[in-house]
Amino acid sequence: MRPHALAPVADLPVRRVVGARQVVANLTLDIGEVAFDYLANAE
């Protein structure tokens, strides 16, 4: 396993590998709405 900031599973101890699968996908998220604007009071 490779280290990844969002999924630190490479730090877990491994006793036996049963199987593995990796999916690489390019996703585009639909336009949403702003729930809270953290930069609104930055001035």
For the stretch 1-43, pLDDT in tens is 667 778 787 788 888 889 888 888 888 878 888 888 888 876 5
Write down the pLDDT at residue 42.
Answer: 64
> In angstroms, rounded to a whole number, what is the distance separating the alpha carbons of residues 36 and 15?
44
CA proximity to 14, closest of 27, 1, 32: 1
> In angstroms, rounded to a whole number, what is the distance separating the alpha carbons of residues 4 and 22?
13
User: Exposed, middle or buried: residue 9 (CB in 10 Å: 0-12, 13-18, 19+)?
Assistant: exposed
> pTM higher than 0.75, yes or no?
no
Parent domain of 39: 1-43
Write down the pLDDT at residue 12.
Answer: 82
Write down the pLDDT at residue 1.
Answer: 64
> In angstroms, rounded to a whole number, what is the distance separating the alpha carbons of residues 43 and 27?
34
* Tally of domains within the chain: 1
